[in-house]
Amino acid sequence: MLWQAMMAVRDLSRLHDIAAILIKYGFGDILSRMGLSNALERAGKVLNHANAKEFAHLSPPVRVRRALEEMGPTFVKLGQVLATRVDLFEPEWIAEFSKLQDGAPPLPYAEVRTQLTEDLGAPPEEIFAHFDPNPLAAASIAQVYRARLTDGNEVIVKVRRPGIRPIIESDLRWLVRLSELAEAENPELRSFCPQEVIRQFAQSLRRELNFSLECRNAEHIADNFANYADEDTPKATQLNDTPPLPPIIIPRVYWQWTGERVCVQEFIDGIPGRMLQAVTDAGLDRKLLARRGAHAVLKMIVEDGFFHADPHQGNVFYLPDNRIAFIDFGMVGRLTEERREQMIRLLLGMVQHDSSGVLDVLLDWTGEGVKDEPGLQLDIQTFVDQYHGLSLKQLSLGNMLSDMVAILRQHQLLLPADLALLVKSFISLEGMGRELDPDFDVASEAMPMLEKSLRARYTPAALLKRGSRSITEALTLIAGLPHDFSSLLRAARRGRLEIHIDVTHLKHVGNQLDGAANRLTIGLVVAALIIGSSIVMTVKGGPTLLGLPVFGLLGYLGTGIVGLWLLLSIWKSNRNDRE
């Protein structure tokens, strides 16, 4: 595997840069254990270990975060994704990953203008009534500009950085290879599922590079909020019988100028979520904003099953009349109807102290056999009991979810990626709510919606719909049985009936037997080489070296090399079996 990786010459320089940063922050031992350090040096890339202790005084989470920042945009994005994996990392790691800011120095406008002209079909000065060449914001993947359409509407123009895709693809190739090496060479890292994490990350990042996908996500959520009005809407916005303003704003997309590398959206003129003092100065109701934001996010999760997966302060704006705008839909979460029901049952079980209900949902989520199910059941019972007798106002849903995920980590159980995003969204939601309103209680806000959604699943209409679907599926299965049975008999008559049984332990034994047979074959070849070389040594004539036949010496040399490789292979196989 290592030599296959080394064949990717076009990425070798990038791997050297990554390795140098890892060594700088004290992670050179990881490179050595993977065999990358020696391989890079054999490829002519010299690694400097002199400053390896420069940052040794920092904690491992801080060193990893700083290394990710220095390695560039792909790794910053990786850290942001890892910040959602509360089921894999301890809170101190999540806190450091959450500090990763997706910022970068802006590119000169001249470099961006050429690509922007290609994507718009004409220079931006011809498309827009006004285009400001100074970027509003610059991130690792995109730069954002402000412009005005000919009809007077203010918009933002988000442009993908020229040349960013080849860099990211190179980094992703190495991340895939490094995850394979990490899982193969470090058994202690296998519980973190590095290959699966990198696979999901690569899929997410490639989607984020396509701005048209982000805009489709925005429109999907906008459609879900098209006729939305919460209980505070009439009190907060209705004046003199005029139609109430929508409480939740999703920027409009201008599709005629939107594509893979550029998107044009409505400009949101509001107070950024980080400027809480400005919210107070503007006379907005912070308690109402907290409640309204919570209801909006809960609606996305519980009712729609399609939610903004990164609702942090940078993606939220507060508008007059206590309205809220969400932006940046590059990262979204999706929940099936079954997942939503499980999530509702889990949250209700946590709040209502139903440990068996919580355990059932967690076992469904992890999808794995639990090594110590009685121990897990006891931990869940203890977890639920510690909140017994507390009122909803005394409960912190974020802390409860964090404690629950800590139990999963302790038992080496992982959440599916969509659920990890869900848990992170709930934790972020409570944190934002309490920054706006210290008395904010997400459990009290969530309970009515959770109970309503659960009851809605058992109304006569809902039961009839599910029953009808089940009957249709059953009838379809029954209707197909004659054809399936006929195919089975036909295959049996022709002698082509095959039964595949996949037994993990038998497969392991088969692999061991296969390896043993290979080593036996190599051993016979080595023995034949020794005998043949010995015969050649007794034959007079032919070229000699130090008075000995050259061909005999070459045979002994080849025998020694193959024999040494065989010994190393046997030793490595025995070590892996012990692990």
Active-site residue, selected from the candidate residues 11, 119, 310, 379? 310
Q: How far is it between the farthest Cα atoms of the chain?
A: 116
Q: Which of 181, 176, 8, 184 has the alpha carbon at shortest distance from 78?
A: 176
**Mapped to the 3 state alphabet, what secondary structure does 86-113 carry?**
CCCCCHHHHHHHHCCCCCCCCCCHHHHH
Contact present, 209 and 168 (Cβ < 8 Å): yes
Instruction: Answer yes or no: 310 catalytic.
Output: yes
Whole-number Å distance between alpha carbons of 372 and 56: 37
Contact present, 278 and 313 (Cβ < 8 Å): no
**CA 240 from chain center: how many Å?**
48
Residues β-bridged to residue 135: none
Single-letter residue type at 199: R
Token pair listed for 407: 């139990």
- β-pairing, 248-249 with 323-326? parallel
| Number of other residues whose CB lies within 10 A of the CB of residue 256 | 10
Token pair listed for 184: 């193969």
Contacts of 70 (CB under 8 A, 6+ apart): 21, 24
Q: What does the chain come to in residues? A: 579
φ, ψ at 302 (rounded to 5°) = -80, -45
Single-letter residue type at 374: P
Contacts of 62 (CB under 8 A, 6+ apart): 96
Long-range pairs of 571-579 with CB within 8 A, sequence gap ≥ 24: 573/515, 579/187
Token pair listed for 564: 């040494």
Whole-number Å distance between alpha carbons of 407 and 423: 14
Whole-number Å distance between alpha carbons of 333 and 311: 11
- β-pairing, 137-138 with 142-148? antiparallel
Q: What is the CA radius of gyration of the chain?
A: 31
Contact present, 333 and 309 (Cβ < 8 Å): yes
> Helices 337-351 & 442-456, crossing angle to 10 degrees?
130
Residue pointed to by tokens 């296998």: 190
Residues 268, 271, 275, 277, Cα dihedral to 10°: 180
Q: Which of 137, 76, 132 has the alpha carbon at shortest distance from 105?
A: 137
Helix (H, G, I), strand (E, B) or coil at 319: strand
Which are the catalytic amino acids?
Answer: 310
